[in-house]
Structure 1
Amino acid sequence: MQQRYRLLELLADGRFHSGEALGASLGIGRSAVWKLVRSLSAMGIDAFAVRGKGYRLASPIELLDRERILAEMDAGTMGLLGNIEILPEIDSTNRYLAMRASEGLRDGHVCFAEYQSAGKGRRGRQWISPFGASIYLSVLRHFGVLSDGPQGLSLAVGVAVASALTSVGVTGVGLKWPNDLLWRGKKLGGILLELAGEPGGPWQVIAGLGLNVSLPPGSAELIDQPWVDLQTVIGHDAMRHGPGVQAPGRNLIAGRILHYLLLDLERFAGQGFAPFRSRWEALDVARDRPVIIKELERQTRGFARWTIPVRYCYRWTDRCEKYCPVI
């Protein structure tokens, strides 16, 4: 992977590079360069060659950079950061941190990846993770107790990510219980919490995020639900507000998300879900909308409701009000 990643560093600017120049930089022959470029398609990267010009990517890629990410954080959140790793390729950032957690990693240990070969979604689903097209990150955090439960923590993480996107000018993002970030009903991102511990605590939590930034067509075809990426969202805003609207870069987005995420994980550890409740209710895309609950072969119609403690519930449309917590 090291040589392939070095090739991507050379091609990331989106310009043509001759096979001879690439070979000289990589210390390989032109035929080896050709094979290396062809291998990029397995990572969801669209690269091509033009006779007499060389090789180029279909569009530039902004590679993740540690210093540019850290530049978006302040002294307070830097104090909450354990360490930051940026990996060119991994099966899953959540799985990677879970494997390394026993090594005594500090709270706030963060793993970013440019590409996931087996990205994890909720309920065993795969998260499509082409190279350099999204934000893939996981954060390790320990909690003595989870007073408002995993559901409350998942919603707090969603609020943190939505706040980060608002801070870079992305508008119209909503949250769908328990882990989806939506824009106009289409999935923009997803959150995956993985917990280990005893019922009464302490808890080890790995909070993972996948956020679509600019998905290539070939990878987008593999997604089995309505989706959207930030490139599309920003393009929509540019049509409304004029061409001066600029798309935020991946490092800016990654840094802001990390800033808000570390801050809000700390806030949740001290105060539970209470500080996030009003923001969540404003972002909840399903609140007061008709829903269908599917339980095996049975379907029940109702309206989405919010109750205390942290549970997402439904009110049946019969004559009485009956609530069903969704775990």
Structure 2
Amino acid sequence: MSLSNSDLPLSSDAIVRHLGALAPAFALRIVAECASTNSELMDAAPADEGPVEVVAAECQTAGRGRRGRQWQSWPGGSLTFSTRWGFRPGAPVPAGLSLVAGLAVVRALERLGVDGLQLKWPNDVLVHGQKLAGILVELLPARGRPPAAVVGIGLNLRLPADFSLPEQTGVTDLGSHLDPLPDRNRLLAALLTEFHALFDTYAAAGFAALRGAWQQRNAFSDLPVRISGDQQEITGICAGVDEDGALLVRTDAGLARILSGEVSLRIAT
């Protein structure tokens, strides 16, 4: 029986072909299984300046999400990968990085024909309000080197029929919104292409240059929201994001800035 496009195994050679002239910008590594693609890059020896390192896994056994949550993935049913990005010497700690990564995912999927894509601050990609992908950004210890960060992406392609997590509601997969599903190698190349373009802009001009594009896709724009965590709770109207990626909420006491800490953003009821 022949494989469908979405069932084809990940292949560095195929990804390179899809990347075309951009291929030299990336150093690709495909693994059959690992605990976490983010951990693979976080634990590796720091690389000197050169191509952006990419690790993609057919299967993760201990994928991690934000706030210590587990990220589930399934062979052939998910696309899980991480990239390691370096920044210029003397640059401040990157701000708004997860928002830039989310925007890159959305733009790549929009180009493939997916409608209804939205961004939920600070690290979720939604389709019509349902979670499609998650992002985990981890800063690497400086140790006398320029700032660097590992950006991990988990994208649902096909959820198992018995998928269920007590803490997860409103989860979707790409197959429900794009038929047929693309070859995962083509999809990964499309994502890396957008990452390269947006991170170049980000490195030159900061998140401020991409703020408007993020705001256009803000899932909670002008909606009542509740922010909980860090021993605080704030309710108000979502006013978008600031030039450094902080969430802005209009409250009775004025405009509040929420930084990307251990907080949870929900629609207020």
User: Structure 2 vs 1, CA of residues 99 and 200 (structure 1 numbering), >3 Å: closer, same or farther?
Assistant: closer
Give 1 or 2: higher strand fraction: 2
Verify: 1:247 aligned to 2:181, yes or no.
Answer: yes
Counterpart contact for 1:213–1:250, Cα < 8 Å:
no
| Of 206-215 and 99-108, the range deviating more from structure 2 | 99-108
Partner of 1:72, secondary structure, is helix
> Match for residue 63 of structure 1?
9
Deviations 1:2-54 (A, max 9, x none): xxxxxxxxx8738xxxxxxxxxxxxxxxxxxxxxxxxxxxxxxxxxxxxxxxx
> Match for residue 235 of structure 2?
301
| Of 66-75 and 291-300, the range deviating more from structure 2 | 291-300
| Of 160-169 and 136-145, the range deviating more from structure 2 | 136-145
Counterpart code for 1:224 = E
Where in structure 1 are there 5+ consecutive unaligned residues? 1-10, 15-59, 235-244
2:74 is aligned, of 125, 130, 153, to 130
Counterpart contact for 2:104–2:194, Cα < 8 Å:
yes
Give 1 or 2: higher helix fraction: 1
| Of 64-73 and 176-185, the range deviating more from structure 2 | 64-73
Q: How many residues align?
A: 258
> Match for residue 36 of structure 1?
none
Counterpart contact for 1:148–1:309, Cα < 8 Å:
no
- The alpha carbon displacement at 1:70 in A equals 2.0
Counterpart Cα distance in 2 of 1:233 and 1:119:
24
> Match for residue 35 of structure 1?
none
C-alpha RMSD of matched pairs (Å): 2.7
Counterpart Cα distance in 2 of 1:62 and 1:221:
26
Counterpart Cα distance in 1 of 2:115 and 2:208:
24
Partner of 1:64, secondary structure, is coil
- The alpha carbon displacement at 1:95 in A equals 0.3
2:127 is aligned, of 156, 162, 183, to 183
Counterpart contact for 1:121–1:192, Cα < 8 Å:
yes
Counterpart Cα distance in 1 of 2:186 and 2:45:
27
Verify: 1:78 aligned to 2:15, yes or no.
Answer: no
- The alpha carbon displacement at 1:198 in A equals 4.9
Counterpart code for 1:165 = L
Counterpart Cα distance in 1 of 2:143 and 2:88:
11
Partner of 1:70, secondary structure, is helix
1:110 is aligned, of 38, 47, 54, to 54
Counterpart Cα distance in 1 of 2:224 and 2:151:
30
> Match for residue 257 of structure 1?
191
Deviations 1:229-287 (A, max 9, x none): 001112xxxxxxxxxx5332222211101111122222211221133122101111112
1:143 is aligned, of 87, 92, 95, to 87
Please report the TM-score for the alignment, with normalisation by the length of structure 2: 0.85
Counterpart Cα distance in 2 of 1:299 and 1:206:
29
Verify: 1:325 aligned to 2:258, yes or no.
Answer: yes
Counterpart code for 2:189 = G
> Match for residue 13 of structure 1?
3
Q: Which has the higher contact order (CA 8 A, sep 6+)?
A: 2
Counterpart Cα distance in 2 of 1:315 and 1:125:
29
Counterpart code for 1:302 = G
Deviations 1:159-199 (A, max 9, x none): 11111111111111111111000112111000111102459
Counterpart Cα distance in 1 of 2:143 and 2:49:
22
Where in structure 2 are there 5+ consecutive unaligned residues? 261-269
Larger Rg: 1
Counterpart Cα distance in 2 of 1:169 and 1:199:
43
> Match for residue 54 of structure 1?
none
Counterpart code for 2:123 = N
Deviations 1:65-87 (A, max 9, x none): 22222222242x32421x10111
Please report the TM-score for the alignment, with normalisation by the length of structure 1: 0.71
Counterpart contact for 1:107–1:140, Cα < 8 Å:
no
Counterpart Cα distance in 1 of 2:208 and 2:100:
10
> Match for residue 266 of structure 2?
none
User: Structure 2 vs 1, CA of residues 115 and 295 (structure 1 numbering), >3 Å: closer, same or farther?
Assistant: closer
> Match for residue 109 of structure 2?
165
User: Structure 2 vs 1, CA of residues 124 and 298 (structure 1 numbering), >3 Å: closer, same or farther?
Assistant: closer
